[in-house]
Amino acid sequence: MSLSQLSAYQIAQQVQSKKASCREVVDDFLGRIEAVEERVKAFVTVTGDEARRRADMLDRRLASGEDIGALGGVPIAVKDALCTRGVKTTCSSKMLENFVPPYDAHVVERLAVDGAITVGKANMDEFAMGSSTENSAFFPTRNPWDLERVPGGSSGGSTAAVAALEAPLALGSDTGGSIRQPAAYCGCVGLKPTYGLVSRYGLIAFASSLDQIGPIANDVRDCALLLQSIAGHDRRDTTSINRSLPKYLDALTGNIRGLKVGVPQEFFAQGVQGYVSDAVHKAIDKMAELGAEVVEVSMPSTEYALATYYIIAPSEASSNLARYDGVQYGLRVHEMGDDIVQMYSKTRVKGFGHEVQHRIMIGTHALSSGFYDAYYLKAQKVRTLIRRDFEAAFQKCDVLATPTAPTVAFKLGENANDPFAMKLADVCTIPVNMAGLPAISLPCGFHEKMPIGLQLIGNLLDESTLLRAAHAYEQATDWHTQRAVL
């Protein structure tokens, strides 16, 4: 069996037992990238030379008897919104096409300590704004299950790399579903942690009160393994939570007897296709067979989440992206025109794609004098109602079970001229970000040979219960063992 067919956990064991060297693992995955990348287009940058150098260094450390970490020798794809020292970090935007950070993101530092090996920077929707990775300024990424379909977004390159076996692990970021929705489309496991559990230091910001970095893998165990590596306090992020961490792998007992699974019917409403609803309800039935207690819960504010998100997120994006003015760093259009204002304008028009410009304008309008109270302030009040709905639901249950996405992956270009259909792809994931909760997507079926995602939502900082429930379901089914054929 090729090393690229093994899980991250298995690869780490192979390396620790010296059945495979780090260099052998890296060469195997780089060979896989070379074989399929032209069709998948998961990476903006492949860091092959650096990966080989790091593998050789880890092999020398291992030979001298050193502990190289829980992820020693495991290749990983890193979303191109995460800063990597000395390696281009573009956010898939012309604005940052030549930006080379002088520092690593906190999660990249943690990966290095734990022995992981970055094999490339993964493609994404520009500045993480999109649901299909078609908004990349460079090229769209394709879904390994069907190359004519999207992989989802905005972390589409990360999930496509994992699904295509170009890397056993990947890091994504999730502002409104950007880890979970592409994980559902690509048949992977994707986890959005509790807001603040993973430091955002070095993540190029989209919407700072919603953004969260998280793991993507082919099974729940690998997801837990990567979460253990990247979670924890970082003083450089003022929203980082300072508390001791549980051992997430210990939560994977396979036993969910007595666990209460809540089913909010509001998540099965707007746009959710019948085949998705059927697959998710069958997954809930399977959890009941495993001993879980299924309870109905009501979350009436859910129907307002999509509209609320598309006021709050663009408002924060408008503020965060104001720094890209052609003066400090990034693209600068040299034909200044008559004054500096024209230089600002020309730089931003050339540097930002249509979707980013669109969201900046929405956000600027919502924050402007005379409209702040009517839009942004009201949206924040609705956000509080959404959070209270979750608090009430968790008085009755331990986890919530919903669809991850209302459909399977759609065709490339299918929703390009239908912004409502594109935004509806995140209708089931957005409420979680509004409340800052953890949630995981894992495969629960197929439709037209395309994966369907089950979303499990946990209470604040209760990733252990979430992973326990996901792992028990996963081990009782075989959806996660099926792979895309390229």
Question: CA 116 to CA 346: how far, in whole Å?
Answer: 41
Question: CA 295 to CA 94: how far, in whole Å?
Answer: 48
178 is catalytic: yes
> Which residue intervals of 290-394 are DSSP H helices?
305-320, 340-351, 354-367, 378-393
Classify 76 as helix, strand or coil. Answer: strand
Catalytic residue among 4, 21, 92, 178: 178
Question: CA 276 to CA 284: how far, in whole Å?
Answer: 12
Question: CA 17 to CA 6: how far, in whole Å?
Answer: 15
- Asked if 298 and 350 count as a contact pair (C-beta separation under 8 A), the reply is no
Catalytic residue among 21, 93, 154, 441: 154
Question: CA 290 to CA 471: how far, in whole Å?
Answer: 12
**Sequence-ordered list of residues with C-beta below 8 angstroms from that of 205, at least 6 positions apart, any chain:** 211, 316, 320
The span from the first CA to the last CA of the chain, in angstroms, equals 17
Q: Which helix (H) or strand (E) holds 39?
A: helix 22-40
Phi/psi of residue 432, nearest 5 degrees: -65, -45
Classify 458 as helix, strand or coil. Answer: strand
Concatenate the DSSP letters of all residues of 227-285 into one string.
HHHH-S--TTSTT----PPP-GGGG--S--TT-EEEEEGGGGSTT--HHHHHHHHHHHH
350 is catalytic: no
CA dist list (Å): 375 to 212, 318, 427, 435: 24, 14, 20, 19
131 is catalytic: no
Catalytic residue among 4, 21, 79, 136: 79
Task: Show which residues are catalytic.
Answer: 79, 154, 178
